[in-house]
């Protein structure tokens, strides 16, 4: 009984220390971000954690310990983040801007193999071309999925591309097996930002997922539309001035050509008289 009592006390002290560390980090760091690490393999968790050394301190603790730390922080605004804490979440403490940290997390996702029963987020296609598969059971497995093949130099070659799983469908055992054999990794796994708290601004961001490529695409499209509108209005800026000068030059040339044509016609009429 005594050994059990000591063990319980020891664990309790570890928990107290963990909560204390979290509270101190909540007071010191500018950004506190909650990210999901559900279904993230340990190897990839370690890989991502290494990349973020110096950028963020990552803590993965039981939900009740994180909630206790939030209560002990005495920060009423920060406590609102508790709604996003789960047993499969990590807490990141950083001095980076919340959206910058979230964008870095999304950018550092890595490809992962498919498992039977998972729902595909996009169409999954087997591309045409040579493979390292030798004739045997793989022939019937590929055929069952409607994939056309041929044998070339003792290896299986896929004759034409084939979508084996459509967006929104669950991945079958057959499809999963073939993807693994062909080293097709249709998923991206990593830390998924859920919410963040800006300590300095005392703001809670509920939507913190940032897709840099999509944002840049939207910015480019918006800039192109704004530029065209500004040129149409004749609004001079550092971005529009060259276009406006070129446009003015072309208009001037057109007017000059019309004037010369009109003068030539008048002169021709006078000569006829």
Residues 86 and 201 in one domain: yes
Q: Domain for residue 59, yes or no? A: yes
Model pLDDT, residue 269: 58
| All residues at 6 or more sequence positions from 141 whose CB lies less than 8 Å from its CB, including other chains | 174, 177, 178, 181
Residues 199 and 81 in one domain: yes
Model pLDDT, residue 44: 87
More confident call, 252 vs 177: 177
pLDDT per residue as tens digits for the range 47-93: 899 999 999 999 999 999 999 999 999 899 999 999 999 888 999 99
Residues 199 and 166 in one domain: no
Residues 165 and 36 in one domain: no
**CATH value at residue 99:** 3.30.70.1730
CB contact at 8 A, 72 and 23: yes
> What is the rounded average pLDDT for all residues in the chain?
86
Q: Cα–Cα distance between 133 and 125 in angstroms, integer?
A: 17
Domain range enclosing 59: 2-109+190-210
Can you tell me the mean pLDDT for 190-215? 83
pLDDT band for position 30 (50/70/90)? very high
Phi, psi of 206 (to 5 degrees): -85, -30
Q: Domain for residue 157, yes or no? A: yes
Confidence (pTM): 0.62
Residues 195 and 237 in one domain: no
Residues 103 and 176 in one domain: no
Model pLDDT, residue 272: 57
Residues 196 and 78 in one domain: yes
Model pLDDT, residue 209: 66
Residues 129 and 58 in one domain: no
Residues 149 and 231 in one domain: no
CA distances from 21 to 57, 63, 116, 214 (A): 11, 15, 40, 37
Residues 100 and 80 in one domain: yes
Number of domain units in the chain: 3
Phi, psi of 166 (to 5 degrees): -90, 155
Q: Cα–Cα distance between 67 and 79 in angstroms, integer?
A: 8
Residues 101 and 65 in one domain: yes
Residues 30 and 92 in one domain: yes
């Amino acid at each position: 009984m005594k050994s059990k009592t000591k063990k319980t006390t020891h664990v309790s002290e570890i928990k107290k220390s963990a909560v204390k560390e979290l509270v101190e980090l909540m007071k010191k760091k500018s950004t506190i971000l909650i990210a999901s690490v559900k279904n993230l393999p340990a190897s990839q968790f370690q890989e991502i954690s290494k990349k973020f050394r110096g950028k963020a301190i990552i803590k993965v603790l039981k939900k009740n310990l994180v909630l206790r730390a939030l209560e002990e922080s005495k920060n009423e605004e920060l406590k609102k983040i508790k709604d996003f804490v789960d047993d499969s979440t990590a807490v990141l403490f950083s001095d980076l801007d919340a959206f910058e940290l979230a964008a870095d997390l999304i950018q550092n996702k890595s490809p992962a193999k498919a498992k039977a029963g998972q729902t595909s987020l996009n169409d999954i296609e087997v591309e045409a071309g040579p493979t390292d598969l030798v004739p045997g059971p793989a022939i019937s497995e590929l055929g069952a999925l409607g994939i056309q093949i041929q044998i070339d130099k003792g290896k299986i070659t896929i004759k034409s591309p084939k979508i084996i799983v459509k967006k929104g469908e669950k991945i079958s055992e057959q499809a999963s097996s073939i993807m693994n054999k062909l080293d097709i990794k249709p998923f991206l796994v990593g830390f998924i930002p859920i919410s963040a708290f800006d300590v300095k601004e005392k703001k809670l961001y509920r939507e913190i997922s940032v897709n840099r490529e999509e944002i840049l695409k939207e910015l480019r499209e918006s800039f192109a539309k704004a530029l065209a509108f500004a040129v149409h209005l004749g609004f001079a800026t550092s971005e529009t001035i060259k276009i406006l000068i070129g446009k003015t030059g072309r208009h001037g040339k057109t007017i000059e050509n019309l004037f010369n044509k009109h003068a030539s016609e008048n002169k021709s009429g006078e000569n006829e008289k």
